[in-house]
Amino acid sequence: MSKTYSVAVVGATGAVGQEMMRTLERRNFPVGELRLLASERSAGKKAMFKGKEYTIQELKEDSFEGIQIALFSAGGSISKKFVPYAVKSGAVAIDNTSAFRMDPNVPLVVPEVNPSDIFKNKGIIANPNCSTIQMVQVLKPLHDFAKIKRVVVSTYQAVSGAGMKAMEELLKETEAVLQKKEYKRSIFPHQIAFNALPRIPQSGGIEEGGYTNEEVKMIKETKKIMGDNSIAVTATCVRVPVLRGHSESVNIETEKRVTVEKARELLAATENVIVQDDIEKELYPLAITSADKFETFVGRIREDDTVKYGLNLWVVSDNLLKGAAWNAVQIAEKLIAG
């Protein structure tokens, strides 16, 4: 009989928590016991996993007894409070929040980029920010080949990054605008339907220099994951009226030339990266075609002749999967594989 593992999903009723459960099932992860945890108000709700009905339990300090792997996606404050209890109970916590990402004692992992860091964990492994994950997947092979000096990234982030209520708000507000009706929003500070918000308001406050917390995450996390503090990174993060799938315009400057052909070759050989780059056939990554896919897609590859050696890329991935649930389950898979 093959070995199974006791798994807890914290935040099981949220958008990412539900994707974690679905990904565990899609990947046929060897789940023996599954414990679904959420807030007191969600306790008692039902959820299906592999054809079996489970009852959501209230998250408590003693919720992790007997658990080997705990997947967290219930907000940073929840992780800060309950991850230590999971670790104390003997579980490895894979945390999808920003709570531990920049802790020097906690590995920040994208399995295609720095898989060996998984085994440096002391009970906690951090899942990076969704926008960072898809970008570093593409940066890694180019950095290995030509050493990246500078990255300028602008993101076009789907509303699902702000949760299920944000998705509902976009749909309802879009309907209201089309019907020329008033809509009272509760998630976004401005209309999101038919608009773009040049700040990700759900990610935290404004930091030094006017950068948002989301932008600072991308800057700091990229350096940590890539293991190279010399890479200069600047970011502008924008929320757009898309349900699933973050898109990014990424401009890089390298120490030596990377031709378009070489970039395509390097990226096509990279695990879980798919090159879609034939503009004459209108083939390039799209949010709607990346939705519900595990891979990250890259296209619109062009040399940038405004610098000595530069490259432009368009990168798209499902923010709920590779940007969150799939990256976490992928870490768990590599963890149990040793």
According to the model, what pLDDT value does residue 31 have?
98
The Cβ of residue 29 has, within 10 Å, a number of other Cβ atoms equal to 18
Would you say 251 is a known binding-site residue?
no
According to the model, what pLDDT value does residue 202 have?
62
Would you say 324 is a known binding-site residue?
no
Mean pLDDT of 283-291: 97
Mean pLDDT of 166-191: 97
Q: Which residues sit opposite 314 in a β-bridge?
A: 249, 299
57 close to 46: Cβ distance less than 8 angstroms: no
pLDDT at 203 exceeding the cut of 90: no
251 close to 315: Cβ distance less than 8 angstroms: no
pLDDT at 1 exceeding the cut of 60: no
67 close to 91: Cβ distance less than 8 angstroms: yes
Residue 179: partners with Cβ closer than 8 Å, 6 or more residues away = none
Would you say 14 is a known binding-site residue?
yes
51-62 pLDDT tens trace: 999 999 999 999
pLDDT at 137 exceeding the cut of 70: yes
According to the model, what pLDDT value does residue 222 have?
98
pLDDT at 133 exceeding the cut of 70: yes
The residue annotated as part of the active site, out of 143, 190, 237, 246, is 246
CATH architecture assigned to 132-319? 2-Layer Sandwich (3.30)
- What backbone phi and psi angles, to 5 degrees, belong to 137? -55, -40
According to the model, what pLDDT value does residue 207 have?
77
According to the model, what pLDDT value does residue 2 have?
74
pLDDT bracket for residue 201 (50, 70, 90): low
239 close to 192: Cβ distance less than 8 angstroms: yes
Side-chain half-sphere CA neighbours of 333 within 13 A: 17
According to the model, what pLDDT value does residue 69 have?
98
Mean pLDDT of 94-119: 97
Query: Which CATH number does 5-128+324-337 carry?
Result: 3.40.50.720
Rg (the chain; Cα; Å): 20
237 is catalytic: no
The Cβ of residue 76 has, within 10 Å, a number of other Cβ atoms equal to 16
Would you say 16 is a known binding-site residue?
yes
pLDDT at 216 exceeding the cut of 90: yes
Would you say 161 is a known binding-site residue?
yes
pLDDT bracket for residue 162 (50, 70, 90): very high
According to the model, what pLDDT value does residue 208 have?
75
Region(s) of the chain under CATH 3.40.50.720? 5-128+324-337
Would you say 264 is a known binding-site residue?
no
Would you say 163 is a known binding-site residue?
no
Would you say 41 is a known binding-site residue?
yes
Region(s) of the chain under CATH 3.30.360.10? 132-319
pLDDT at 205 exceeding the cut of 80: no
Q: Tokens 């898109």, residue?
A: 247
- Quote the DSSP letter at residue 38: E
pLDDT > 70: percent of the chain: 99
The residue annotated as part of the active site, out of 130, 143, 190, 237, is 130
Q: What is the spatial distance between Cα 91 and Cα 83, in angstroms, rounded to a whole number?
A: 9
pLDDT bracket for residue 204 (50, 70, 90): low
Q: Tokens 């990402």, residue?
A: 101
Would you say 42 is a known binding-site residue?
yes
pLDDT bracket for residue 269 (50, 70, 90): very high
273 close to 301: Cβ distance less than 8 angstroms: no
143 is catalytic: no
Between β-strands 69-72 and 92-95, what pairing exists: parallel, antiparallel or unpaired?
parallel
